[in-house]
């Protein structure tokens, strides 16, 4: 790609803002993750993804990247609600699959499940089981974003920061929303016209590889997230405090890095599923 990853992430976030009018790891953070991912697809991956996408996606994975959030509170899909996160016991800063993902029913279990479903699909079967694999793709694309938001691996007692009420500058909100939305909202307000961000290009090869050459490694991403939750998100953010410039300036690079990692790892995973030799460094 012509653009450096640094410029690319900043551009995608700005583009997202222009498309949706407001930014957040809610709709727009997910949009950014999927936009970055699609730009790293191998040709065969792009063909397979386009085959699976529903018509309303218009050929763009980013357009369905928040579908899982849109449906999770409807009666038909309420079973999927807890697949969006994996919390740890209070004040535990490590992630343990058997402890934190009971019955595989959490974001890591969901990523394993839906990538396995996509893996089992051959070229021929794509059209036969189209509907389920369409859902599998939309879930994987969404959950790969969620798992990189540090507070989607937060503490059980405060529901990943949702119960920590505080102020973001002069707005009443909660810590989870600060990480889903507010940090990026503020970045757009302050840095609208400048592409300022750290350049992670050298780190990309280490992001895409999984231990033991696995297709995907959500346990690793969840471990990184709870570590960041403890060291960065919860730190200096107790209930009732006002978060402002210090918190914003120190945490924004982490939000940008996690969005970039989510996009790159989503692309690498789908390339490994649909294309035997990924362009992004081999795992």
Which of residues 145 and 278 has its CB atom nearest to ligand ADE in the complex? 145
| Of positions 28, 135, 180, 256, contacts Zn ion by CB under 5 A | 180
Instruction: List, in sequence order, every residue forming a beta bridge with 242; answer none if it has no partner.
Output: 167
Which one of the spans 43-51, 62-70, 205-213, 249-257 is the region binding Zn ion (CB under 5 A)? Answer: 62-70
Q: In this chain, which residue has its C-beta nearest to Zn ion?
A: 84
- What's the min distance (Å) between Cβ of 82 and ligand ADE? 8
Contact 258/148 with Cβ under 8 angstroms? yes
CA separation for the pair 271, 267 (Å, rounded): 6
Helix/strand/coil for 126: helix
Chain residues 129-168 in contact with Zn ion, contact rule CB under 5 A: 146
Window 154-193: contact mask with ligand ADE (x via CB under 6 A): x----xx-x-------------------------------
Compute the Cα dihedral for 261, 262, 263, 269 and give only its sign: positive
Contact 13/243 with Cβ under 8 angstroms? no
Q: In this chain, which residue has its C-beta nearest to ligand ADE?
A: 160
Should residue 109 be labelled a site residue for ligand ADE when binding is judged by CB under 6 A? no
Binding partner of 69, given Zn ion, ligand ADE, none, CB within 5-8 angstroms per partner class: Zn ion
Contact 282/48 with Cβ under 8 angstroms? no
What are the structure tokens assigned to 30, written together? 């997910």
Q: How many helices (H) and strands (E) does the chain have?
A: 13, 3
- What's the min distance (Å) between Cβ of 20 and ligand ADE? 20
Which one of the spans 52-60, 79-87, 91-99, 242-250 is the region binding ligand ADE (CB under 6 A)? Answer: 79-87
| Of positions 16, 45, 87, 115, contacts ligand ADE by CB under 6 A | 87
- CB neighbours of residue 260 within 10 Å: 26
- CB neighbours of residue 184 within 10 Å: 25
- CB neighbours of residue 277 within 10 Å: 9
CA separation for the pair 165, 174 (Å, rounded): 4
- What's the min distance (Å) between Cβ of 48 and ligand ADE? 30
Binding partner of 160, given ligand ADE, Zn ion, none, CB within 5-8 angstroms per partner class: ligand ADE
Binding partner of 154, given Zn ion, ligand ADE, none, CB within 5-8 angstroms per partner class: ligand ADE
Contact 90/217 with Cβ under 8 angstroms? no
Strands 171-174 and 165-168, how do they pair?
Answer: antiparallel
Chain residues 58-77 in contact with ligand ADE, contact rule CB under 6 A: none
Should residue 142 be labelled a site residue for ligand ADE when binding is judged by CB under 6 A? no
**Dihedral in degrees, nearest 10, Cα atoms 147, 150, 153, 155:** -160
- What's the min distance (Å) between Cβ of 162 and ligand ADE? 6
- What's the min distance (Å) between Cβ of 109 and ligand ADE? 14
Interface residues toward ligand ADE, by CB under 6 A: 84-85, 87, 151-152, 154, 159-160, 162
Chain residues binding Zn ion by CB under 5 A are: 69, 84, 146, 180
């Amino acid at each position: 790609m012509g653009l450096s990853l640094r410029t690319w992430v900043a551009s995608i976030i700005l583009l997202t803002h222009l498309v949706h009018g407001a930014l957040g790891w809610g709709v727009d953070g997910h949009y950014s993750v999927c936009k970055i991912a699609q730009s790293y697809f191998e040709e065969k991956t792009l063909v397979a993804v386009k085959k699976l996408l529903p018509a309303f996606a218009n050929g763009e994975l980013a357009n369905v990247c928040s579908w899982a959030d849109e449906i999770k509170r409807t009666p038909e899909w309420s079973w999927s609600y807890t697949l969006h996160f994996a919390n740890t016991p209070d004040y535990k800063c490590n992630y343990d699959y058997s402890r934190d993902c009971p019955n595989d029913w959490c974001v890591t279990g969901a990523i394993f499940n839906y990538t396995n479903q996509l893996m089992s699909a051959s070229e021929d079967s794509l059209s036969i089981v189209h509907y389920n694999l369409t859902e599998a793709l939309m879930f994987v694309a969404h959950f790969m974003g969620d798992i990189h938001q540090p507070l989607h691996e937060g503490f059980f007692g405060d529901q990943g920061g949702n119960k920590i009420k505080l102020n973001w500058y002069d707005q009443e909100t909660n810590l989870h929303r600060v990480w889903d939305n507010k940090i990026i909202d503020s970045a757009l307000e302050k840095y609208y016209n400048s592409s300022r961000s750290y350049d992670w290009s050298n780190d990309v090869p280490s992001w895409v590889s999984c231990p033991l050459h696995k297709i995907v490694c959500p346990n690793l991403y969840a471990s990184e997230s709870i570590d960041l939750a403890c060291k960065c998100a919860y730190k200096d953010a107790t209930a009732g405090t006002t978060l402002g410039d210090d918190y914003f300036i120190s945490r924004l690079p982490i939000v940008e890095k996690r969005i970039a990692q989510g996009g790159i790892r989503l692309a690498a995973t789908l390339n490994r599923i649909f294309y035997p030799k990924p362009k992004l460094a081999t795992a």
